[in-house]
Structure 1
Amino acid sequence: MTEAVAALISSIAPADDLERAHLHEAAAWVARTADIYRRVKPATPPRHLVTYVVVTTPERDAVFLVDHRKAGKWLPPGGHVEPGEHPGNTARREAEEELGLRPELGAGSAPLFLTITTTVNVDSGHEDVSLWYVTTAAPDAEFTLDEEEFRGGRWWTRDEIAAADPALFDPHLSRFLAKLGR
């Protein structure tokens, strides 16, 4: 499966210098180890593969974010890639588990964005290599949120995100939105 992950990483066109650096580091990490899946919560190994599923409107003018209890941030839904699982299947599974949404994602799906982020508020710190997938839903879509994981969820417009405190969100969300808008 690491070959499939390496192929996904190489298929992403970087939007900026930071994404280019993250892509280079992620490719090197996958090439030097097969230990890319979290096996023990929260941080074994200390760097592991995750997916985000960014739900956007067809016009891409808003994204649905969840208020994540442990992270203390508004994030796209997502989660850890299980050993041997294709990240596209992880994204689909997480969208179903966390939102009740059945997106058109799977082993053939490609992510739009990649980031490497040190976690906050969850443990003493580990790194998530995050593949950001995109799907759409109507603004009036009804989601069934995982109440154990989230305090709530809502649509955020680009303007609302730009006007809010950046600390409320994943540190790479604004960069992702810039890439999504291209």
Structure 2
Amino acid sequence: MAKFQMKERILTNAKSARLAEGTDAANATRATQVTNNHGQEEVGKFVKTNGESRFSLAAAGDQIEGFITSLEAAQVDGYTFGSVAGSVGDYKEVMFDGLQATPGTGTLVVGDRVVVGSVSAKGTALPGAVKVCKATTQTGMDYVWRVVSLGSAGTGAVGTVGTIERVS
């Protein structure tokens, strides 16, 4: 095992954004706003664009557009307001979750491109590092994150922790 290992590092300022599930129409009433908005347990989870100036939680197999770094107590236009990071050059600590086609099986190696792995349900805090799977398709992705460190285990096996980097 190497003495030096790449670790989580966010080089850029996080972007301010609205955060909620569903559509603008689904957030029109106060009752659905409360249901669709996010709490502090969502910090660290992966997100994807979901409408005008808004992100929602990413599902297993989605490309990784970014991850929630913080949430504000106040809401903006009925949406949770927070910050999302994930710019080119950023590193994120993750737990390996195998292959996209068969989560929970397989290993990853340095250079593999990854997508969102098994997710924790909305309203449930992450039990550890967020999970990623080796992408079935290693080309043609809009948001490319790749494995840069296999962590202290050095195997890329399911359940081990490593580091990914946003490269495009």
User: What range describes the TM-score normalised by the shorter chain of this pair?
Assistant: under 0.3
Higher-strand-fraction structure: 2
Structure number, greater radius of gyration = 2
Per the normalisation by structure 2, the TM-score is 0.24
Higher-helix-fraction structure: 1
